[in-house]
């Protein structure tokens, strides 16, 4: 094992839930640990209930050097719906693969693992859409990833 991950959440009862709190906790836990802690950042966390309007780009800009894992979801900026990256949701959503990759290339350090974290209803319709939505989301992100 080379490091551990901490995922900032989107509500007060699950710290860290603000950028400032995330930085404070990361500095504190990394003071005296045999394994460093890095971040697993979810692009849909940090919503209004945490007293931070959801601005995934601000979170990513400020925390990119500490990120080793990124949960990818399409979001409307008001909640954390874990939508797929399909035309329907990309129209409503605020996450741009181009912008995410640009920020990571500018400020990230080392390898960063990208994970699609998509939620579907537990219905037959949700089951039918699940694989198609993942396939379409993977196709979209692959267009923007460096070779």
Using one digit for the tens of pLDDT, what is the confidence trace for 126-140?
677 888 999 999 999
In this predicted structure, the answer to whether residue 85 has a pLDDT above a threshold of 60 is yes
Looking at the domain that runs over 4-144, which CATH code has it been given? 3.20.20.150
In this predicted structure, the answer to whether residue 50 has a pLDDT above a threshold of 60 is no
Per-position DSSP letters for the chain, written without gaps between them: ---EEE---SSTTSS--SHHHHHHHHHHHTSS-SS-EEEEEETT-S-GGGTS---HHHHHHHHGGGEEEEEE-B--SSS---B-SSHHHHHH----HHHHHHHHHHH--S--EEEE-----SSHHHHHHHHHHHHHHHHHHHHHS--
| pTM: predicted TM-score of the whole model, two decimal places | 0.88
Average pLDDT of span 102-126:
86
Of 10-19, 42-51, 70-79, 121-130, the one with minimum mean pLDDT is 42-51
């Amino acid at each position: 094992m080379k490091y551990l991950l901490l995922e900032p959440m989107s509500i007060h009862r699950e710290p860290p839930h603000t950028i400032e709190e995330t930085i404070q906790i990361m500095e504190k836990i990394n003071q005296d640990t045999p394994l460093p802690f890095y971040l697993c950042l979810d692009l849909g966390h940090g919503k209004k209930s945490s007293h931070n309007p959801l601005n995934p780009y601000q979170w990513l800009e400020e925390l990119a050097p500490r990120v080793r894992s990124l949960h990818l979801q399409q979001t409307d900026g008001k909640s954390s719906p874990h939508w797929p990256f399909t035309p329907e949701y990309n129209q409503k959503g605020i996450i741009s693969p181009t912008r995410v990759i640009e920020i990571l290339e500018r400020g990230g350090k080392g390898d960063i693992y990208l994970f699609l974290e998509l939620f579907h209803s537990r219905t037959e319709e949700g089951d039918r859409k699940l694989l198609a939505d993942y396939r379409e989301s993977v196709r979209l992100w692959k267009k923007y990833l460096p070779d």
